[in-house]
Structure 1
């Protein structure tokens, strides 16, 4: 069965997934091994095979189709801002037939081919996959997922791949939008129009942060979509997707907007539009239309245990895509701002602890040294409530606002500190710059520090809550194999003293560990209780 999650033999599943699919359009009639490779890397059967493996492990995954990138710069003029279109009256039913008839000719298929190098991996880990699947580039998307270990088998340093996605024409002179992951690593990109004509495409630029890529083909007088405004969407609005799921060209599916402003793991820069329109591998890069027939998003990801559609689809807002497109057309690449903080959502318990009226905002968990945030005076424990006047409901809202801002621009932040609101201004850095790590005992102490702790000073409010009278460092994290972790120290503990000596700074930690003691006694405070934890160091 193609969709079974109970298959135990990946090789059997791999073979079964291709039975009955030999009539799918292929560039040639190769051997079964070649057919298997082509289908897996084409985004047609890939998700079925990979998701079957992931499903057997109980791993839900955000699937991006195939990926490749071949960036180049080309002069062009940014498109004009689209004229506003009256939204569909409430209760009206969209004329899907008219939308497909009018916009369908501007939706294209994108076929890519190239080679990918094998990445370094832990040779001791094993995926349990047959050798013919271990080298498949799609499986890199599962790398690092809990419970899934990956081992590459032998083979050549470069692995050929083919891939297929969707796109749409935004100007009559051949400018096309698609996903960055569709064209990642591609050496050859071919665009197929709805009238069956094919053109070699040039990748003007690709932005992996927002997953937007811009292509150009040498053609004139082409049909183009009408661009809309994603900010006018509301939950419950009807939407229509057109693309090539599993290689089936010009497929239209409909649904509604399920949610707005979704922040997904690894994609915090994009406030995704969530819909229940059926989107499958091969739809990546295709347009999402509103009820008036205007493009409001680029279909990019699905959340699935099976590899196929399960009611959760995510699209990049067209406003974000056009902003990135203008940068790529002008310079060949996109740049993103960086504040230099790690933030988390504020739940009800945290809101009560910080004296907030309701759980909202982005709680600053750490500040990178030398970052825009540190220069602006941000501190761990601050809650960012607004950025440039826009309300920050959750951490993902701040991440997308900052990432889409230009490096060097100034952002005004409304923060909550010490039970009152304050205003700070930060000049953003560039996401291309490597951030300095946060200050921590394990990073800044001498090599003799074998505790494996990441700590920081307590904020005044945290000192009052813990009753430390100025002493103590907050344990933010631990090295899983470090001495403190093995002894039972936990994140959130407050380190009060080492061997009876009060701790107020990282310098005091350094001094105590400089003599390389064989064992230390840590006095910690945990949820109102104080206890000593003996930690062997040798």
Structure 2
């Protein structure tokens, strides 16, 4: 190659380099890539709708809360005793997994089996709160707690409370406890995060809102073998739509401050997995029960000594309340705190120590926070006016039968004083008392209920055959015809309060709505 040719080649290479630099500068860093890729560029250059500062702040808060609260939530592995299968339909399914079933499937843990749940650390020295149903079948020494740092700790069972479905464990060490929210500050509609270990997935965080407060769903204290429920069981759940699944039992429900709002306990589901309805025990109940178990290893719970139902429209009409709110006293336990303080069947409890109680769940939640020996002031609605009663709570006498279902209809001949009356619209028949019934019930007042139509109005309200109506609409009843006159004076849709005496001597208040004639 001549010298001239060599110089020409070098010059052309230099021009090429300069031209390439110009191209790179003009078309950006992807120019060559675009040249060889046919000009295709993956992804848009900018997000279509950049988040506002407020949205970014909310997102950052969720991230911060999730990071903080997971430090206080633990996984619990339980070696269990053999548990008999239950065919109970799990519309309300306790998420005790992963071996638990859902829907209509049987739930069975074999000998030596292991079940898993969640818990929340509530003190620096290692107290952990969880659900009673997570640990109630545990073998001695069969509970292991795994903290967020994946360290395993042998746990000691401090105590259990089946009537609230809470239990406390103890592990050794120093830990980060959850911060407790104030029950009064929890609002329907506020954001919450549920944290637990669903389906074996450690430290899972899901979000939702507080959907409702004060829910009772009838699962706490229910025997899965007999389906019978303990009458003293307490439910006052927070409902949430945060996704919760098997394994979440005992995990925490937290607000956006990172404060513990409640302990996750159940979901409403036919499949055993999240269907949008979860339930958590409120923090005030959790704190009260946990303190009792830590201090004494058992619950020193106080009781009023009444059987109650929430006021509904019929009972509000019957006693003259202007709004549907309060708690009916349907029965008063003999020798209990309520009887000693002068509460009567047919009273309506309106508040406890100034705190309004709109439903029976509200009343239970107020009393469960107190111990035997505590005094409470009840505002009572009686005979169309408000009165106050001071009640000293007593411990539960487990041998006392509050209400019996063994009432039997009398078989003796009725007095000739009055003929039986069939109250067709309400669905029952009343007879005059016989001498034998007067003696066995201990009263000359009232009429005997010889028949109650299945599915009738009074049957749906709890009236049973073999009982005696003592009063109707506040008036003493001495014959079937007198009861007929009292009810005939009421208009269709009016409420009527009946005071009923059972064969064991307990009294019950039943409210019915007068039907169309």
TM-score by length of 2: 0.63
Equivalence for 1:225? 178
Which runs of structure 2 are paired with 1:8-23 in the superposition (5 Å)? Answer: none
Paired residues of 2:285 and 2:368 also in contact (CA < 8 A): no
Counterpart-to-counterpart distance in 2, 1:450 and 1:108: 67
Secondary structure of 1:359's partner?
Answer: coil
Equivalence for 1:478? none
Cα distance, 1:411–1:167 mapped onto 2, change above 3 Å: same
Give the alignment partner of residue 155 of structure 2, picking from 198, 201, 211.
Answer: 201
Give the alignment partner of residue 362 of structure 2, picking from 397, 400, 419.
Answer: 397
1:101 aligns with 2:67: yes
Deviations 1:161-210 (A, max 9, x none): 32100112222322211111111120100111222211111111111122
Secondary structure of 1:171's partner?
Answer: coil
Deviations 1:62-101 (A, max 9, x none): xxxxxxxxxxxxxxxxxxxxxxxxxxx9997361111122
Cα distance, 1:276–1:360 mapped onto 2, change above 3 Å: same
Equivalence for 1:298? 263
Equivalence for 1:245? 198
Paired residues of 2:101 and 2:272 also in contact (CA < 8 A): no
Counterpart-to-counterpart distance in 1, 2:335 and 2:185: 38
Equivalence for 1:15? none
1:114 aligns with 2:117: no
Counterpart-to-counterpart distance in 1, 2:368 and 2:218: 15
Cα distance, 1:439–1:165 mapped onto 2, change above 3 Å: closer
Deviations 1:396-428 (A, max 9, x none): 111222233211222211111111111112222
Counterpart-to-counterpart distance in 2, 1:366 and 1:383: 11
Q: CA deviation at 1:229?
A: 1.9
Cα distance, 1:203–1:504 mapped onto 2, change above 3 Å: closer
Paired residues of 2:285 and 2:365 also in contact (CA < 8 A): no
Secondary structure of 2:290's partner?
Answer: helix
Task: Show structure 2 runs of 5+ residues with no match.
Answer: 1-53, 90-96, 221-232, 415-429, 433-443, 472-478, 490-517
Equivalence for 2:332? 367
Paired residues of 2:452 and 2:464 also in contact (CA < 8 A): no
Deviations 1:102-133 (A, max 9, x none): 221221100101214659x9xxxx999xxxxx
User: Bigger shift: 432-441 or 281-290?
Assistant: 432-441
Paired residues of 1:497 and 1:523 also in contact (CA < 8 A): no
Paired residues of 1:338 and 1:407 also in contact (CA < 8 A): yes
Paired residues of 1:335 and 1:431 also in contact (CA < 8 A): no
Cα distance, 1:139–1:223 mapped onto 2, change above 3 Å: closer
Q: CA deviation at 1:334?
A: 1.6
Give the alignment partner of residue 354 of structure 1, picking from 312, 319, 328.
Answer: 319
Paired residues of 1:496 and 1:523 also in contact (CA < 8 A): no
Paired residues of 1:280 and 1:308 also in contact (CA < 8 A): yes
Cα distance, 1:252–1:504 mapped onto 2, change above 3 Å: closer
Cα distance, 1:487–1:264 mapped onto 2, change above 3 Å: closer
1:161 aligns with 2:113: yes
Give the alignment partner of residue 237 of structure 2, picking from 272, 295, 304.
Answer: 272
1:382 aligns with 2:347: yes
Secondary structure of 1:335's partner?
Answer: coil
Secondary structure of 1:342's partner?
Answer: strand
Task: Show structure 1 runs of 5+ residues with no match.
Answer: 1-88, 129-135, 143-147, 452-465, 476-482, 506-520, 531-538
Counterpart-to-counterpart distance in 2, 1:224 and 1:472: 60
Give the alignment partner of residue 472 of structure 1, picking from 435, 446, 451.
Answer: 446
Equivalence for 2:170? 216
Q: What value does the CA root-mean-square deviation take over the aligned residues?
A: 4.4
Deviations 1:355-395 (A, max 9, x none): 11111100111222222222222222111111121111112
How many aligned residue pairs are there? Answer: 377
Counterpart-to-counterpart distance in 2, 1:259 and 1:111: 31
TM-score by length of 1: 0.61
Counterpart-to-counterpart distance in 1, 2:338 and 2:55: 44
Q: CA deviation at 1:269?
A: 2.2
